[in-house]
Amino acid sequence: MEGEVLNRELGLWDAVALGLGSILGTGVFVTLALAAGAAGPAVVLAVGLAGALAAANGLSSAQLAAAHPVSGGTYEYGYRLLAPWLGFSAGWMFLAAKSASAATAALGFAGYLLHAVGGEDGLRIPVALAIVVLFTLLVSSGLRRSNRVNWAIVGAALLSLAFFVGAGAPAAWREASTNLTPFFAPGEGRSAPSGLFYATALVFVAYTGYGRIATLGEEVREPRRTIPRAIIVTLVVTVILYAAVAAIGTAVAGSAELSRSASGEAAPLGAVAHQFAGPAGARVVAIGALAALLGVLLNLLLGLSRMALAMSRRGDAPAALSRIDARRGTPRLAVLAVGALVLVLAALGDVETTWSFSAFTVLVYYAVTNLAALRLPAAARRYPPWVAWLGLGGCLFIAFWVEPAVWAAGLALLAVGLAGHRIAATRRRSPG
For residue 72, tell me if it sits in a domain.
Answer: yes
The residue-averaged pLDDT of 344-352 equals 85
For residue 372, tell me if it sits in a domain.
Answer: yes
Predicted local distance difference test score (pLDDT) of residue 427: 76
Distance (Å, whole) CA 134 – CA 191: 42
Structural domain for 119, as ranges: 12-421
pTM for this predicted structure: 0.85
Span 37-48, pLDDT tens digits: 888 888 889 998
CB-side neighbour CA atoms (13 Å) of 40: 18
The residue-averaged pLDDT of 203-207 equals 90
| CATH number of the domain residue 386 falls in | 1.20.1740.10
The residue-averaged pLDDT of 328-339 equals 85
Confidence of residue 50 (pLDDT cuts 50, 70, 90): very high
Distance (Å, whole) CA 135 – CA 63: 31
For residue 3, tell me if it sits in a domain.
Answer: no
For the chain, counts of helices (H) and of strands (E): 17, 0
Predicted local distance difference test score (pLDDT) of residue 217: 61
pLDDT at 126 over 70: yes
DSSP structure class, residue 183 = S
pLDDT at 2 over 50: no
Span 218-231, pLDDT tens digits: 677 777 777 778 87
Give the 3-state secondary structure of residue 339. helix
For residue 141, tell me if it sits in a domain.
Answer: yes
For residue 431, tell me if it sits in a domain.
Answer: no
Q: Which of 251, 242, 244 is nearest to 272 (CA)?
A: 251
Predicted local distance difference test score (pLDDT) of residue 1: 43
Q: How would you label 12-27 residue by residue, b for 16+ Cβ within 10 Å and e otherwise?
A: bebbbbbbbbbbbbbb
Distance (Å, whole) CA 77 – CA 374: 11
**Interacting residues of 163 by C-beta distance below 8 A, sequence separation 6+:** 281, 284, 285, 288
Predicted local distance difference test score (pLDDT) of residue 431: 61
Distance (Å, whole) CA 421 – CA 57: 26
State yes or no: cis peptide before 186, omega within 30 of 0: no
For residue 426, tell me if it sits in a domain.
Answer: no
For residue 4, tell me if it sits in a domain.
Answer: no
Give a three-class secondary structure readout of 56-94. Answer: HHHHHHHHHHHHCCCECCHHHHHHHHHCHHHHHHHHHHH
Q: Which of 352, 391, 298, 355 is nearest to 61 (CA)?
A: 391
pLDDT at 245 over 80: yes
The two most distant CA atoms of the chain are separated, in Å, by: 74
Number of domains in the chain: 1
For residue 430, tell me if it sits in a domain.
Answer: no
The residue-averaged pLDDT of 357-371 equals 94
The residue-averaged pLDDT of 370-393 equals 92
The residue-averaged pLDDT of 334-361 equals 89
| Phi-psi domain of 315 (left: phi exceeds 0; alpha: psi -120 through 50; beta: other) | left
Residue 135 contacts residue 294 (beta carbons within 8 Å): yes
The residue-averaged pLDDT of 96-108 equals 89
Greater confidence (178 vs 80) lies with 80
Give the 3-state secondary structure of residue 10. strand
Confidence of residue 9 (pLDDT cuts 50, 70, 90): low
